[in-house]
């Protein structure tokens, strides 16, 4: 069952921690006790009513009120000013195309990745550079963890119960970063998807584990290396869906200097990301024919090209990271689509700063 709004426990930290573990409200790591005082301090950083219901989080369809979102943000260790980002991430997760119910209950090693763009990412110090996907940054770590705790505590996706992932993955503890807009040679992800640079957004992806993209001295080599990562990913070739490629700034600059716009890079990747049907074992050939029949509408035998996704626009490109040439290839859950939401006030108007949402004391 989703956690209640309030519960009384002993006032020692050890007792609260043990109680949260017993009730299944923690990810196994220590939590910050969500006292009424702490939750109210968090709520001061949104202009929305504390009892407003953002939506219902599957699989148990728990009510995601602003208050409950704030309580989980406290537990995760968020600073109060991070709350607008967490609320927006929840709104994105509830987008119909993201298909949160399937993401929550799949047996595959899928987790949610939140990517923040715009001025608020910089205002809150969300890391977009060195080790952006790793530890060491409170904003990245706690915002991503808050999202995970919300999925567990409000949605009820508890390990071994409704969460039946065979192995899971470390990204299920926390996964959040910002795009390195300052080092990108292309338009930022949110601008590419219809926003202005001055708007701040949160995009959510349902991703598997990353594959390293390292080799390549020129644009074609880098893109070809990225494309070849898909060839060992039988589940993607069988199911389609989307992919996310997070290029480090150095490799992105090489690709751009080689004459590739973002769209041209995406189209190159699409043409080279896949295999002929003949390269698959007979078992996988049968699955591909069953699950992606549109690839065979014009006939086609063993030479039929099996792209990792059905259209270039389903290969998403972002720029993240610091120095050196290491990038990441993520296969996304086949039955989910990226969702992007703008950080807004209660009237639905975009805000430039989280301070615009803070209530006066």
Helix intervals (H) in 44-113:
66-76, 83-93, 100-105
The percent of residues above 70 in pLDDT, for the chain, comes to 97
Neighbours of 335 (CB within 10 A): 16
Question: To 10 degrees, the CA torsion angle through 315, 207, 140, 71?
Answer: 130
Question: Which pLDDT score, from 0 to 100, does residue 235 have?
Answer: 75
Question: What does the pLDDT look like over 205-254, one tens digit per residue?
Answer: 999 999 999 878 899 999 999 988 777 677 778 888 999 999 999 999 99
CA angle, 355 then 357 then 361, to 5°: 85
Identify the three-state secondary structure at position 115. strand
pLDDT exceeds 90 at position 10: no
Question: Which pLDDT score, from 0 to 100, does residue 238 have?
Answer: 87
Six-digit token pair at 348? 């639905």
Question: What does the pLDDT look like over 76-126, one tens digit per residue?
Answer: 999 999 999 999 999 999 999 999 999 999 998 999 999 999 999 999 999
Six-digit token pair at 80? 């109060």
* Distant-in-sequence, close-in-space partners of 89: CB < 8 Å, separation ≥ 6: 114, 143, 147, 202, 204, 341
Nearest residue to 271 (alpha-carbon basis) of 213, 201, 223, 336: 223
Q: Are strands 111-117 and 201-213 parallel, antiparallel or unpaired?
A: antiparallel
Question: What does the pLDDT look like over 227-241, one tens digit per residue?
Answer: 887 776 777 788 889
Over residues 152-157, mean pLDDT:
94
The percent of residues above 90 in pLDDT, for the chain, comes to 80
Question: Which pLDDT score, from 0 to 100, does residue 166 have?
Answer: 87
Q: What are phi and psi of 247, to 5 degrees?
A: -85, 140
Average model confidence (pLDDT) across the chain: 93
Place of tokens 């899928």: 110
Question: What does the pLDDT look like over 158-185, one tens digit per residue?
Answer: 888 888 888 999 999 999 999 999 999 9
CB distance 339 to 98 below 8 Å: yes
* Distant-in-sequence, close-in-space partners of 272: CB < 8 Å, separation ≥ 6: 223, 224, 227, 228
Give the number of residues written for the chain: 361
CB distance 332 to 241 below 8 Å: yes
Taking the complete model, does pTM exceed 0.85, yes or no?
yes
Question: Which pLDDT score, from 0 to 100, does residue 217 have?
Answer: 86
């Amino acid at each position: 069952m989703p956690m209640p709004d309030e519960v009384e426990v002993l006032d020692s930290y050890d007792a609260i921690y043990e109680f949260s573990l017993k009730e299944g409200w923690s990810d196994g790591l220590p939590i910050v006790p969500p006292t009424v005082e702490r939750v109210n301090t968090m709520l001061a950083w949104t202009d929305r009513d504390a009892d407003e219901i953002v939506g219902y989080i599957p699989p148990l369809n728990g009510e995601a009120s602003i208050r409950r979102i704030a309580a989980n943000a406290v537990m995760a260790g968020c600073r109060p000013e991070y709350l607008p980002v967490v609320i927006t991430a929840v709104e994105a997760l509830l987008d119909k195309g993201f298909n949160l119910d399937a993401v929550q209950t799949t047996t595959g090693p899928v987790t949610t990745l939140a990517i923040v763009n715009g001025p608020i990412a910089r205002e809150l110090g969300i890391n977009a550079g060195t080790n952006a996907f790793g530890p060491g940054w409170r904003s990245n770590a706690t915002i991503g963890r808050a999202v995970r705790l919300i999925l567990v505590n409000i949605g009820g996706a508890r390990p071994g119960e409704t969460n039946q992932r065979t192995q899971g993955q470390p990204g299920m503890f926390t996964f959040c970063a910002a795009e390195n807009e300052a080092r990108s040679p292309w338009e930022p992800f949110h601008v590419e998807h219809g926003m202005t640079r001055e708007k701040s957004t949160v995009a959510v992806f349902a991703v598997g584990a990353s594959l390293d993209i390292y080799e390549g001295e020129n644009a074609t080599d880098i893109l070809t290396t990225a494309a070849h990562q898909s060839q060992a990913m039988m589940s993607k070739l069988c199911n389609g869906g989307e992919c996310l490629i997070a290029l480090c700034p150095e490799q992105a600059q090489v690709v751009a200097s080689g004459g590739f716009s973002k769209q041209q890079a995406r189209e190159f990747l699409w043409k080279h990301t896949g295999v002929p049907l003949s390269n698959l074992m007979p078992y996988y050939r049968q699955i591909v024919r069953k699950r992606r029949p549109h690839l065979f509408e014009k006939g086609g035998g063993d030479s039929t090209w099996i792209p990792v996704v059905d259209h270039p626009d389903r290969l998403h490109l972002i720029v993240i990271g610091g120095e050196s040439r290491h990038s990441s290839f993520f296969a996304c859950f086949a039955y989910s689509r990226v969702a992007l939401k703008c950080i807004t006030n209660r009237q639905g108007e975009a805000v430039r700063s989280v301070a615009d949402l803070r209530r006066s004391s």
